[in-house]
Amino acid sequence: MSKKIEVEDKILSKNDKLANELRQLFLDKKVLVINFVSSPGSGKTSILENILPKLSKKYRLAVIEGDLETENDAERIRKAGIKAYQITTGGACHLEAFGIKNALPNFDLDNLDLLIIENVGNLVCPASFDLGEDFKIVVISTPEGDDKPAKYPSMIRASSAIIVNKIDLAEYMEFDVDKCIDYAKRINPNLVEFRTSCKTKTGLDDLIAFIETKIEEKHAGIRG
Amino acid sequence: MHEASIAQSLLDVVIETAHKNSVKSVLSVEVNIGRLAAVEKNSLLFAFDALKEGTVAEKASLIINDIPIVGKCNACGLEDEYDNFVFSCHNCGSYDVTIISGEELNIKEIEVEDE
């Protein structure tokens, strides 16, 4: 004989519950948390190296780096003068909320305005795991192909902003920036768009201005 | 391969439910997975079978229900199924479509041995 027991629970309920606790904590402490997601090599760390020193003139910042192995990215951020903590997942393809929780004792949230989480380079898995962030920014770079948003729609849907990076190479890569952003906006019409190059320093000031606005909104108690 | 993490989270809920109900053995686990959830079915089945060993769910089979994407257009009100990820209303073309189902990553029920 057998019987059925109804469960009606989300599979990731534990992660989601912890993420919501973190979100409440970040709200109480008025810390803006941005989760940066992309394929490996899209230039997330380069973007951060470029924008964080400028943001740090006005705000108190820290970075959590997620990678399978090495402290390389955290060291790059530290060289830019920003506090960084490296999570090495040891093979896992994404960060989870408990990893963020475990990293938090390394930061003084009472003296922080912006916490950046640079997720493991992967356009699939991080979409499913809420980290308690205010929003995700997805980075797509021109060597990847302009149909990337159409291939990875879940991440596009999960993100609030898209950065097309390495636009200085667009011509050589035959990457149509407008087409890429058009694909993305058909999947998620509310995406805020940025077009950047860390080589030519294009578009980075727009991104900085956007993040500053979001930090101010968080201080004012407006949810992201 | 985040399906391993998802399988582990699923097993955690199953084992917890089994213990709460003093269950000796779980026979099957039924889940609803939306097409928007970005879960690869075979990877999830593989990970579930590997991770269930030695638990109260080691005899359990995993039943996956595919949940289609259904959206409601906020402009004209049409409720329709979508077979891709571009949500342009099939009636009026508006992109202002609210997803009603297709994002599920839920456990529905478990079947257990009853003495």
Partners of A185 on chain B (C-beta within 8 Å) are 95
- Find the chain B residues whose C-beta atoms sit closer than 8 A to any C-beta of A: 1-2, 5-6, 9-10, 12-14, 17, 21, 23, 27, 31, 36-39, 85-88, 95-96, 105-115
> Which of A2, A11, A154 to probe by mutation at the B interface, max B CB count within 10 Å?
A11
pLDDT value at residue B95 = 86
What is the DSSP track for A168-194? GGHHHHT--HHHHHHHHHHH-TT-EEE
Whole-number average pLDDT of chain B: 94
Q: ∠ CA A196-A123-B89 to the nearest 5 degrees? A: 90
**Banded model confidence at residue B115, pLDDT cuts 50, 70, 90:** low
Q: What is the average pLDDT across B84-100?
A: 90
Give the chain A residue nearest B3 (alpha carbons): A125
Answer whether B96 sits within 8 Å of A94, measured CB to CB. no
- CA distance readout (Å), B112 to A163, A201, B68, B72: 49, 61, 28, 37
pLDDT digits (tens, 9 = 90+) for A72-122: 999 999 999 999 999 998 888 899 999 999 999 999 999 999 999 999 999
| The pLDDT of residue A173 is above 80 | yes
**Is the entire prediction scored with pTM above 0.90?**
yes
Q: Name the pairing type of β-strands B26-34 and B61-67.
A: parallel
Answer whether A15 sits within 8 Å of B9, measured CB to CB. yes
Token pair of B95 as six digits: 């992109």
| The pLDDT of residue B89 is above 90 | yes
Kindly provide the ipTM of the predicted complex, given to two decimals. 0.85
Whole-number average pLDDT of chain A: 95
pLDDT value at residue A222 = 67
Q: Name the pairing type of β-strands B79-82 and B69-73.
A: antiparallel
| The pLDDT of residue B79 is above 90 | yes
Torsion-angle region of residue B107: left (phi > 0), alpha (psi -120 to 50) or beta? beta
pLDDT digits (tens, 9 = 90+) for B1-54: 689 999 999 999 999 999 999 999 999 999 999 998 889 999 999 999 999 999
